[in-house]
Amino acid sequence: MITNVSNNLSALRAYGTQMGAIADNVANVNTDGFKKNRTVLRGGPNQAVEANVQKVDTPGALYTAVEGRDRVEKEMSNVDLAEEIPAMMTTQHAYNASLKAVQAQDEILGSLMDIVG
């Protein structure tokens, strides 16, 4: 039972890390040259969940800007909100599911302590 709680808590941490990466991407959608982050979730020791944040180095779209009398080619961020918003929604649902599992396990342990005590 304690292992299950620990695994669900590791999932909550991993989903929190993933949500932070998504939030960083969304906040920098209009920052020239920004490279988005992707979080890869995988199973760790004892069925825990680990989050690994990686930079995605694909180039952003290019555009020409006028700076003074010069025309300068600039690169936009490579963040696509059409990817980020669904990823955020999926991560939020997964986070909520893990939170509900922790809450259920807490209730079960509380009931067990009431029976034993």
User: What is the pLDDT confidence band of residue 108, given thresholds at 50, 70 and 90?
Assistant: confident
Asked whether the beta carbons of 1 and 109 are under 8 A apart, the reply is: yes
The rounded percent of the chain whose pLDDT value lies above 70 is 97
Asked whether the beta carbons of 101 and 94 are under 8 A apart, the reply is: no
The number of folded domains in the chain is 1
User: What is the pLDDT confidence band of residue 51, given thresholds at 50, 70 and 90?
Assistant: very high
Asked whether the beta carbons of 15 and 23 are under 8 A apart, the reply is: no
| pLDDT tens track for 1-42 | 456 778 889 999 999 999 999 999 999 999 999 999 999 999
> In which domain, by residue range, is 89 found?
2-116
